[in-house]
């Protein structure tokens, strides 16, 4: 009796280990470095070929745009913002999940982030590159695109700092720079691992230069860790502000359906929602292709699904609240704008959005679906589609039915709009595949750091690295 009483498990919930399959420190190094050191798989070449073709389509579409002008797009009056702006908001939003994982979850001490933060951050950087293209090519006269920056010039002309469009330049520019620095700082210790494993002279030189001479001494780590924490602290308010600023592009105008104060938080929730959709899509594929089931476990995926459920519910709340406020405001233009969204010329887009963003994510209330790869992959695709449509609904529906019925028009994309959008996916996957092929897709040093064996107060089991195993 007594013994049972003493050995009974204490009333704490034991979490499953983050790294499964008995991987050791060395095992993690071999696993992640092995992906890059192995000869390039045929599948990679196939995917890269497809992605690169997409990039060429993008280049072609942009080339023609520069030659001919924005008239090749389906824009009209009053719909002056079409797919280009939709795509911009879509891609910036995708990026937000990477920063949420790398910065906010870091501050919240969510150790499970280490398995996914590296490629989520890479996804952020690539997505922001794709996003940045659209407003730049949208200016029409690309040769004076530098007017956006406050550069001293012979005309003594300066940009209007009170315009949200200029805020965007600074917010997105800062976001890209900070995300890139954060990602690169995280990469340095892993690049040093690659440097020390390199066999050929070229690899030794390339990784030697890229790892900046990293030694892994505690006199480096102590500064490194604080710098990383500082970056996380800076990136956290930044990521929340970026999509808020993007939303002010709409919210500071007077168009019914745009002129609402709910936009900043609603855009941020939507951004994180869409970004997690994309991270999940990519994570499921990468996990399968590179057999990373021990590092990106089903528990990791379930946690992401919970975030999708939470942010999806916030988005759903915002959709419904918009309708309520439109009615409550008593403003006839506002009321019309929302009735028109649900039942007007673009109702089909509205209901696709509503289905993909509000209804299907609710399936994640079921644990079984949260842990089913097929279910979550399907739902993540739904999220990606739904969030693109959300931006389409916001941008196009509101513009096409503004104040004066005499100016109303219907907007449809042209083949060039479609090619630019498809091409941006090509660019996204081209850069992402290059990352998967040449850089460590999982943060090795961070994953090792959250293993129980890494804690100096860990009292080894029989399975701790054997004597001399380090050599």
Q: Identify residues 238-257 at the interface with another protein (CB under 8 A).
A: 238, 241, 245, 248
Residue 471 interacts with another protein (CB under 8 A)? yes
Closest approach of Cβ 215 to another protein, in Å?
A: 6
Stretch that binds another protein, among 133-141, 190-198, 275-283, 362-370 (CB under 8 A): 190-198
Which residue, 183 or 425, is less far from another protein as judged by CB?
A: 183
Whether omega for the bond prior to residue 308 falls within 30 degrees of 0, making it cis, is: no
Tell me which residues in 297-336 interact with another protein (CB under 8 A).
none
Contact yes or no for 316/390 (Cβ under 8 A): no
Q: CA 230, CA 222: separation in Å to the nearest integer?
A: 12
Stretch that binds another protein, among 56-64, 301-309, 369-377, 458-466 (CB under 8 A): 458-466
Which residue, 211 or 400, is less far from another protein as judged by CB?
A: 211
Among 34, 37, 63, 218, binds another protein (CB under 8 A): 218
Which residue, 114 or 340, is less far from another protein as judged by CB?
A: 114
Give the distance, in angstroms, between the CA of residue 386 and the centroid of all CA atoms in the same chain.
15
Which residue, 10 or 456, is less far from another protein as judged by CB?
A: 456
Half-sphere exposure in the Cβ direction for 464 (13 Å, CA): 11
Residue 467 interacts with another protein (CB under 8 A)? yes
In this structure, how many other beta carbons lie within 10 angstroms of the beta carbon of residue 45?
Answer: 12
Residue labelled with tokens 């759903």: 316
Tell me which residues in 108-127 interact with another protein (CB under 8 A).
none
In this structure, how many other beta carbons lie within 10 angstroms of the beta carbon of residue 209?
Answer: 11
Stretch that binds another protein, among 314-322, 345-353, 407-415, 439-447 (CB under 8 A): 439-447
DSSP state at residue 143: G
Between CA 213 and CA 440, with CA 200 as vertex, the angle to 5 degrees is: 60
Among 36, 136, 234, 434, binds another protein (CB under 8 A): 234
Contact yes or no for 38/289 (Cβ under 8 A): no
Strand, coil or helix: 406: helix
Which residue, 427 or 447, is less far from another protein as judged by CB?
A: 447
Give the residue among 30, 11, 97 at the shortest CA–CA distance from 440.
Answer: 30
Residue 428 interacts with another protein (CB under 8 A)? no
Among 208, 265, 342, 344, binds another protein (CB under 8 A): 208
Residue 195 interacts with another protein (CB under 8 A)? yes
Residue 222 interacts with another protein (CB under 8 A)? yes
What is the token pair recorded at 153? 């010039």
Among 44, 48, 64, 221, binds another protein (CB under 8 A): 221
| DSSP labels, 145-209 | GGGGS----TT-----TT-HHHHHHHHHHHHHHHHHHHHHHHHHHHHHHHHHH--SHHHHHHHHH
Burial grade of 421 (CB within 10 A; 0-12, 13-18, 19 or more) = buried
Closest approach of Cβ 460 to another protein, in Å?
A: 7
Contact yes or no for 24/470 (Cβ under 8 A): no
Contact yes or no for 391/90 (Cβ under 8 A): yes
Which residue, 246 or 431, is less far from another protein as judged by CB?
A: 246
Residue 200 interacts with another protein (CB under 8 A)? no
Residue 214 interacts with another protein (CB under 8 A)? yes
Contact yes or no for 68/141 (Cβ under 8 A): no
Among 107, 108, 227, 320, binds another protein (CB under 8 A): 227
Which residue, 170 or 317, is less far from another protein as judged by CB?
A: 170
Residue 226 interacts with another protein (CB under 8 A)? yes
Closest approach of Cβ 221 to another protein, in Å?
A: 4
Dihedrals phi, psi of 331, to nearest 5 degrees = -85, 120
List, in sequence order, the alpha helices (H) in 290-372. 298-329, 332-343, 347-354, 367-370
Closest approach of Cβ 33 to another protein, in Å?
A: 9
Instruction: Tell me, residue by residue from 137 to 176, as one string, x for binding to another protein by CB under 8 A and - for no binding.
Output: -------------x-----xxxxxxx---xx--xx-xx--
Total of chain residues touching another protein, rule CB under 8 A = 76
Tell me which residues in 23-42 interact with another protein (CB under 8 A).
24-26, 29
**Which residues, at least 6 apart from 347, have a Cβ–Cβ distance to it below 8 Å?**
341
Which residue, 163 or 362, is less far from another protein as judged by CB?
A: 163
Among 141, 288, 367, 458, binds another protein (CB under 8 A): 458
Among 42, 199, 457, 461, binds another protein (CB under 8 A): 457
């Amino acid at each position: 009796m007594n013994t049972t009483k003493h050995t009974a498990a204490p009333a704490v919930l034991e979490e499953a280990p983050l790294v499964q399959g008995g991987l050791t420190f060395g095992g993690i190094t071999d696993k992640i470095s092995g992906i890059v050191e192995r000869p390039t798989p045929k599948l990679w070449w196939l995917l890269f070929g497809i992605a690169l073709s997409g990039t060429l389509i993008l280049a072609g579409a942009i080339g023609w745009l520069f030659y001919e002008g924005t008239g090749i797009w389906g824009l009209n009056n009053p719909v002056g913002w079409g797919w280009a702006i939709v795509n911009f908001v879509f891609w910036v939003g995708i990026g937000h999940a990477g920063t949420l994982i790398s910065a906010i979850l870091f501050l919240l001490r969510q150790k499970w982030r280490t398995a996914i933060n590296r490629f989520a951050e890479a996804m952020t950087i690539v997505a922001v590159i794709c996003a940045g293209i659209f407003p730049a090519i949208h200016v029409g006269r690309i040769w004076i695109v530098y007017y956006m920056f406050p550069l001293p010039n012979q005309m003594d002309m300066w940009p209007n700092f009170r315009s949200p469009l200029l805020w965007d330049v600074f917010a997105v520019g800062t976001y890209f720079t900070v995300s890139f620095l954060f990602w690169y700082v995280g990469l340095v210790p892993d690049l040093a691992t690659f440097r020390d494993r390199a066999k050929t002279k070229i690899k030794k030189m390339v990784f030697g230069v890229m790892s900046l001479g990293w030694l892994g001494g505690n006199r480096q780590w102590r500064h490194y860790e604080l710098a990383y924490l500082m970056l996380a602290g800076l990136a956290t308010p930044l990521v929340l502000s970026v999509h808020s600023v993007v939303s002010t592009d709409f919210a500071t105008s007077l168009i019914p359906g745009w002129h609402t104060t709910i936009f900043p938080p609603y855009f941020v929730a939507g951004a994180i929602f869409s970004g997690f959709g994309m991270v999940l899509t990519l994570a499921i594929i990468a996990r399968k292709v590179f057999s990373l089931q021990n590092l990106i476990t089903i528990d990791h995926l379930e946690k992401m699904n919970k975030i999708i459920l939470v942010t999806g519910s916030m988005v759903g709340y915002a959709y419904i609240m918009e309708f309520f406020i439109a009615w409550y405001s008593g403003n006839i233009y506002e009321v019309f704008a929302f009735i028109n969204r649900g039942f007007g010329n673009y109702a089909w887009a509205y209901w696709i959005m509503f289905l993909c963003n509000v209804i299907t994510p609710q399936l994640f209330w079921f644990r079984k679906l949260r842990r089913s790869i097929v279910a979550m992959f399907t739902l993540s695709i739904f999220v990606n589609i739904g969030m693109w449509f959300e931006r389409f609904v916001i941008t196009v529906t509101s513009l096409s039915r503004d104040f004066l019925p005499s100016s109303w028009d219907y907007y449809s994309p042209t083949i060039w709009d479609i090619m630019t959008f498809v091409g941006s996916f090509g660019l996204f996957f081209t850069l992402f595949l290059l990352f998967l092929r040449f850089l460590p897709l999982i943060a090795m040093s961070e994953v090792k750091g959250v293993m129980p064996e890494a804690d100096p107060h860990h009292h080894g089991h029989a399975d701790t690295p054997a004597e001399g195993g380090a050599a």
